[in-house]
Amino acid sequence: MIKGSRMRKLLIAAICATVATPVLADSHEGVLKARQGYMQLVWQNFGPLTKMAKGEMDYDADQAALHADNLDALASMNISAQFPEGTDKESLPGETRALPVIWTDMGGFSEKFQNFADAVQNLRAEASEGLEALQAAVGQTGNSCGGCHDDYRAKEF
């Protein structure tokens, strides 16, 4: 039988062997890549829903549900690790549109994110309930995006 401490060492060795640390892990480049990737993932799923809502793409209940489920997964995340101190537009000019006010008004920022999460939960419920239900829920979700971007995101990098 392997003793506890030896088992522990073996476990840690196994973890070290299987989990290689990417270069970007703790850098601000890594933070921005994750944060901007998150936004891109939101758009990758919200985009087709807006196209269906606008009539630029045929309404498909299954596809709508798939994208709404993905959005709900993203909106359910705790995004605090995406916004460490020192990753605002003034600290990193040209690299991010995140305004410094995010960090001085984290309560307001969190409330806006919660509005988005709530709108997406409704979107998930409505997405496969027909085009008109989708349109209303997409409009509401779009407003929740804008409600945060207006105050906390600059127009330019």
Interface positions with a copy of itself (CB under 8 A):
8, 11-12, 14-16, 18-19, 21-22, 24-26, 30-31, 33-34, 36-38, 40-41, 43-48, 50, 53-55, 66-67, 69-70, 73-74, 76-78, 81-82, 132, 135-136, 138-139, 142-143, 145-146
Min dist. Cβ of residue 13 to a copy of itself (A): 10
Min dist. Cβ of residue 94 to a copy of itself (A): 17
Min dist. Cβ of residue 137 to a copy of itself (A): 10
Residue 32: name the closest of 44, 24, 20, 22 by CA: 24
Identity of residue 147: G
Select 80 or 104, whichever has its Cβ closest to a copy of itself: 80
Select 76 or 104, whichever has its Cβ closest to a copy of itself: 76
Min dist. Cβ of residue 90 to a copy of itself (A): 23
Distance CA 124, CA 145 (A): 16
Select 47 or 100, whichever has its Cβ closest to a copy of itself: 47
Helix or strand (DSSP H, E) at 140: helix 131-152
Select 13 or 104, whichever has its Cβ closest to a copy of itself: 13
Min dist. Cβ of residue 100 to a copy of itself (A): 22
> Residue 71, class by beta-carbon neighbours within 10 Å (0-12 exposed, 13-18 middle, 19+ buried)?
buried
CB contact at 8 A, 138 and 53: yes
Q: Report the phi/psi class of residue 64: left, alpha or beta, with left for phi > 0 and alpha for psi in -120 to 50.
A: alpha
Backbone angles phi, psi at 22, to 5 degrees: -65, 150
Identity of residue 151: D
Select 86 or 104, whichever has its Cβ closest to a copy of itself: 86
